[in-house]
Amino acid sequence: MRKGKLTPYLLVSPYIVHFLVFVVFPVAFSILLTFFKWDIISEMKFSGFANYRRLFADRLFWKALVNTLYFLSIHIPLELVVSLFLAEILNQKLKFQGLFRALFFLPVIVSGVAVTILWQQLYGYNAGLLNKFLMYIGLGKVGWLIDTKMAMPSIAIMATWKNVGLYIILFLVGLQTVPKQYYEAAELEGASHWQKFFKITLPLINPTIIMVVILSTIGGFSLFIEPYIMTGGGPLNSTLSALLYIYKQGFFYYHMGYASALGIFFALLIMAVVIIQRKYIEKRT
Amino acid sequence: MIKKTIFYFILIVSAIVFTYPFLWMFLASISPDKAIGNLVLLPSQVTLDNYRQMIAKIPIWRALLNSVIVSGLITTGVLVFGSMIGYALARLEFKGRNLIFYLIIFTMTIPFQITLIPQYILMVKLNWTDTYYALIVPYLINALGIIMFRQYFLSLPQSLIDAARIDGCGELRIIFRIIWPNSVPVILTVAILTFMTSWNEVLWPLIVIRKESLMTLPQLVTLFVVGGRAESQLGVKLASSVFLATPIVIAYAFFQKYFINSMVSTGQKE
C-alpha cells in the first residue's frame, strides 16, 4: 500500500491531461479569441468588444436564435405528448411490450445522417411519400421543406420521430416508480382514468418531464446535420440553427473570433436555460 | 376488452410509423430510380445497380474501414481509461479525489458549442487536421463513461479486491484481471454507447477532415448527398444511407437491451 501512494494519481492522470488540453485550454482560449479578429492564417488582431457589438447587430444571429426557439416550441410539446401517451399505453401490462419498445427505439440508434436523407425524400414536394399520402386521402400538398413557415416545423417533426423512442423509455421508467396504492386509493374514490392521470401520474413524474425538456433543449441548440443536409439553412434562412450558424462563421468564413463569441453566447444561454429548468424541478418536488 | 383492442391498434400503428420509413428506404435502394416514385410496399423490379454506382462513385469501403478504426479505437480508449479512472475514484483513497470527481461532473455540463472553435484551432496548430489523431484523441476520455464505471465499481464487494491484494496483484492487474470479468454489464453498456456515438458523429469529422481517404462513413455519405455528386440519383443516395445505417441496426438486433440501457443512462445524467 505505501509504495502505492502514487498509484491513484497515475490512474487519474489521463483525465487530468485531457481536462487541461481539451477543456481548460479551449474554454480559456475561446474567451480570449472573442476579443480578436482572426482567420487562423494571418496575425491575430485585437478588436476589443467588436465581436460582441457585431453579435447584437447581426440579423442572422437573431434569426438563428429565433429559429432555435421556434424549433423548441414545436418539438418539446409534441414529443412530450407523443412519448407520454405511448409510455402510458405501454405501461398497461400488455403483451409484446418489449417488442413495441424495441421498435419505437429504432430511430434513436440510427445515424442522424441516414434519418435526414430518408426524411428529405419523405418530405419531397412532388414525389415525397407524405404528400402522396395527403393527396391520396384528398388533402392538398404541403411544402414541407420549401415553405419558409413549414421548413422548421418539418425538421422538428422529424427530430421528434427520431428521439421519441428514448423519451418513451424514460417515461416508462418514471411511470414504474409511481406507487400502485395511489391508483388503488383513487379508484376506490371513483376517480376516472383522466383524473388519475392528471392528479397522480403527472405530478409524480414531473422530474422525468423536466429531464426530457432539458435533453431536448440541449438537442435543439445542437441541431446541425438536419438543416445542413436538408435545406442548408434555407429557404431564406428559415432553418438556420444556432450551431449551423457557428459552423458557417467558423469553418466557412473563418471568422474565428466572431464564431467564438457566438459559441460562448449560445453555451451560456444553454447553461442558463438548463439551470432555470433544474431550479424548477427542485421547487416542484 | 375493447380498451385492449384499441391499445394494441394504437401500438401497431405507431410501430409502423417508426419502422416503415426504414423499410421503404431499403426497398427504394434496391429499386430502379424510375420506380421509386411509385414504391409503397413491394418493389416492382429489384436491382443492385444503386449499390454498384455508389461503390464506383465514392470510396465507401475505405470510409467503412475508417469508421471501424476510429470508433474501435475510441471505444477501446474509453473502456481502458474510463475503468482506470473510475476505479481510482471508487476504490482508492487519495487527496483530491472529490475534487476530481466534481470536475468530471462539471465538464459534463459544459456545452460543446464553446469548445468547438478552439479545439479545431488546436488541431490546426498540432498539425492534426487530416489525420486519425484529430478524429480519435479528443474522444479517448469520456466523462460519462468514467462516472458509469465509478458507479458500478462502488457496488462490487471489497473482498474481491482484498483477496487480489493479498495475492500481490498491482492495481492495474486488479482492474483488468479481477474487476473487468465482474463488470461485463457496465463494460458492454459503455462500449455500445461510445461506439454508437462515435459511429454516428458527423460534425467533428466535417470540421477536421478534408481528405476523402480519411473520411468516416457519415461524413462521406453527407458530402456525397449534399455535394451534388449523387446528382439527382435518388436510389444511390438512399443506398449510401442504408449502407451507413446497417451496421448499427445489426448490432442493435443483437444487443437491444444494452442499447436501450446505455441511452437511458445518458438521459439520466441530466
- Cβ–Cβ below 8 Å for A106 and B4: no
Quick check: B61 and B120 in contact, CB under 8 A?
A: no
Which of chain B's residues have a Cβ under 8 Å away from the Cβ of A61? none
Question: Could you give the CA distance from residue B226 to residue B79 in angstroms, rounded to a whole number?
Answer: 35
Residue A65 lies in a domain: yes
- Cβ–Cβ below 8 Å for B121 and A25: no
Quick check: A27 and B110 in contact, CB under 8 A?
A: yes
Provide mean pLDDT across the span A177-186: 86
All three cell numbers of B177, joined, read 484481471
Which one has a higher pLDDT value, A187 or A259?
Answer: A259
- Cβ–Cβ below 8 Å for A22 and B119: yes
Phi, psi angles (nearest 5°) of residue B209: -120, 125
ipTM higher than the 0.90 cut: yes
Provide mean pLDDT across the span B127-137: 96
Phi, psi angles (nearest 5°) of residue A45: -115, 125
Count of the separate structural domains present in chain B = 2
Residues B198 and B81 in one domain: yes
- In chain A, which among 104-133 make CB contacts under 8 A with chain B? 104-114, 117-119, 121-122, 127, 129
Residues contacting residue A107 through CB under 8 Å, at least 6 positions apart: A115, A161, A162, A163, A164, A165, B18, B22
Cα four-point dihedral sign B37, B40, B46, B49: positive
Count of the separate structural domains present in chain A = 1
Provide mean pLDDT across the span A257-277: 93
Which of chain B's residues have a Cβ under 8 Å away from the Cβ of A102? 256, 260
Residue A203 lies in a domain: yes
pLDDT value of residue A141: 87
Quick check: B117 and A260 in contact, CB under 8 A?
A: yes
Question: Could you give the CA distance from residue B106 to residue B53 in angstroms, rounded to a whole number?
Answer: 48
Q: Does A211 touch chain B (CB under 8 A)?
A: yes
What mean pLDDT is reported for chain B? Answer: 91
Q: Residue B73, SS3? A: helix
pLDDT value of residue A197: 85
Residues B227 and B138 in one domain: yes
Residues B174 and B256 in one domain: yes
Which of chain B's residues have a Cβ under 8 Å away from the Cβ of A256? 117, 121
What percent of chain A has a predicted confidence (pLDDT) above 70? 97
Q: Does B17 touch chain A (CB under 8 A)?
A: yes
Question: Could you give the CA distance from residue A223 to residue A59 in angstroms, rounded to a whole number?
Answer: 19
Which of chain B's residues have a Cβ under 8 Å away from the Cβ of A33? 117-118, 121
Question: Could you give the CA distance from residue A245 to residue A237 in angstroms, rounded to a whole number?
Answer: 10
Q: Does B35 touch chain A (CB under 8 A)?
A: no
Domain that holds residue B6: 1-47
Which of chain A's residues have a Cβ under 8 Å away from the Cβ of B88? 7-8, 11-12
CA–CA min distance A83, chain B (Å):
11
Q: Does A55 touch chain B (CB under 8 A)?
A: no
**pLDDT band, residue A138 (cuts 50/70/90):** confident
Residues B103 and B11 in one domain: no
Quick check: B102 and A210 in contact, CB under 8 A?
A: no
Maximal C-alpha separation, chain A: 80
All three cell numbers of B156, joined, read 462490487
Residue A35 lies in a domain: no
Least CA distance to A41: which residue of chain B? B124
List the single best residue of B2, B92, B113 to mutate versus A (max A Cβ within 10 A): B113
Question: Could you give the CA distance from residue A240 to residue A117 in angstroms, rounded to a whole number?
Answer: 18
List the single best residue of A2, A23, A211 to mutate versus B (max B Cβ within 10 A): A23
A211, A247, A250: residue with CB nearest B270:
A211
Question: Could you give the CA distance from residue B128 to residue B66 in angstroms, rounded to a whole number?
Answer: 16
For the stretch B194-250, pLDDT in tens is 999 999 999 999 999 999 999 999 999 999 999 877 667 888 999 999 999 999 999
- Cβ–Cβ below 8 Å for A33 and B259: no
Least CA distance to B112: which residue of chain A? A267
- Cβ–Cβ below 8 Å for A30 and B259: no
Q: Does A42 touch chain B (CB under 8 A)?
A: no
Domain that holds residue A190: 57-112+148-284
Residue with cell 429559429: A67
Q: Does B13 touch chain A (CB under 8 A)?
A: no
Phi, psi angles (nearest 5°) of residue A65: -65, -50
A103, A110, A260: residue with CB nearest B245:
A110
What mean pLDDT is reported for chain A? Answer: 91
Cα four-point dihedral sign B164, B167, B171, B175: negative
pLDDT value of residue A157: 97
pLDDT value of residue B262: 83
Helices B49-57, B234-268: inter-axial angle, 10-degree rounding = 80
Which of chain A's residues have a Cβ under 8 Å away from the Cβ of B60? none
Which one has a higher pLDDT value, A264 or A200?
Answer: A264
For the stretch A15-55, pLDDT in tens is 999 999 999 999 999 999 999 999 888 888 999 899 999 99
- Cβ–Cβ below 8 Å for A117 and B237: yes
Quick check: A151 and A145 in contact, CB under 8 A?
A: yes
- For the domain that residue A248 is a member of, what is the CATH number? 1.10.3720.10
pLDDT value of residue A1: 45
Which of chain B's residues have a Cβ under 8 Å away from the Cβ of A113? 200, 202, 218, 221-222, 241, 244
- For the domain that residue B125 is a member of, what is the CATH number? 1.10.3720.10
Q: Does A263 touch chain B (CB under 8 A)?
A: yes
Residue whose C-alpha is closest to residue A117's, from B22, B124, B197: B22
Residues B147 and B41 in one domain: no
All three cell numbers of B24, joined, read 421503404
Residues contacting residue A231 through CB under 8 Å, at least 6 positions apart: A145, A151, A155, A238, A239
**pLDDT band, residue A2 (cuts 50/70/90):** very low
Residues B10 and B66 in one domain: no
Which of chain B's residues have a Cβ under 8 Å away from the Cβ of A104? 14-15, 18
CA–CA min distance B131, chain A (Å):
17
For the stretch B12-55, pLDDT in tens is 999 999 999 999 999 999 988 887 777 777 777 888 999 999 99
Residue A242 lies in a domain: yes
**pLDDT band, residue B270 (cuts 50/70/90):** low
Which of chain B's residues have a Cβ under 8 Å away from the Cβ of A117? 221, 225, 237-238, 240-241
Asked if the peptide bond before residue A8 counts as cis, ω within 30 degrees of 0, the response is: no
Looking at B14, B31, B47, the residue that finishes a domain is B47
SS3 labels along chain A: CCHHHCHHHHHHHHHHHHHHHHHHHHHHHHHHHCCEECCCCCCCEECCCHHHHHHHHCHHHHHHHHHHHHHHHHHHHHHHHHHHHHHHHHCCCCCCHHHHHHHHHHHHHCCHHHHHHHHHHHCCCCCCHHHHHHHHCCCCCCCCCCCCCCHHHHHHHHHHHHHHHHHHHHHHHHHCCCCHHHHHHHHHCCCCHHHHHHHHHHHHCHHHHHHHHHHHHHHHHCCCHHHHHHCCCCCCCCCCCHHHHHHHHHHCCCCHHHHHHHHHHHHHHHHHHHHHHHHHHHHHC
Residue A218 has pLDDT above 60, yes or no: yes
Residue A229 lies in a domain: yes
Residues B148 and B80 in one domain: yes
A12, A21, A270: residue with CB nearest B85:
A12
Exposure letters A2-30 (e unless 16+ CB within 10 A, then b): eeeeebbeebbebbbebbebbbebbbebb
A33, A100, A232: residue with CB nearest B11:
A100
- Cβ–Cβ below 8 Å for B117 and A40: no
Residue A261 has pLDDT above 70, yes or no: yes
